[in-house]
């Protein structure tokens, strides 16, 4: 894991599970902590926005 940990333990556990299954975490900016990106392809629009 080469990213900052999420301060919420439940969200961090979810992120770790997702990463173990090929999803990618993209750190955001502003009010958005980050995004969870689909492992299928780089252009995939299936993503979860704004992990707070």
Does some domain include residue 13? yes
Which residues, listed in sequence order, are joined to residue 37 by a DSSP beta bridge? 24, 47
Q: How confident is residue 10, by pLDDT bands cut at 50, 70 and 90? A: very high
Q: With respect to residue 3, please indicate whether it lies within any of the assigned structural domains.
A: no
- Give the domain range for residue 25: 9-48
Residue 4 in domain: no
Q: What pLDDT, on a 0 to 100 scale, did the predictor assign at position 29? A: 76
Instruction: Label residue 13 by pLDDT band (50, 70, 90).
Output: very high
Average pLDDT over residues 14-39: 87
Residue 1 is assigned to a structural domain of this protein: no
Question: Is there a contact between 44 and 37 (Cβ–Cβ < 8 Å)?
Answer: yes
How many structural domains are present in the chain?
1
Q: Is residue 28 part of a domain?
A: yes
Q: How confident is the model at residue 20 (pLDDT cuts 50, 70, 90)?
A: very high
Confidence at residue 43, expressed as pLDDT on a 0 to 100 scale = 66
Distances (CA, A) of 41 to 19, 46, 47, 50: 15, 10, 11, 20
Please report the pLDDT score of residue 37 as a whole number.
83
């Amino acid at each position: 894991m080469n990213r900052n940990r999420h301060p919420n333990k439940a969200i961090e556990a979810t992120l770790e599970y997702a990463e173990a299954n090929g999803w990618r975490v993209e750190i955001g900016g502003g009010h958005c902590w980050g995004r969870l990106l689909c492992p299928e392809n780089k252009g995939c629009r299936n993503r979860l926005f704004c992990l707070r």
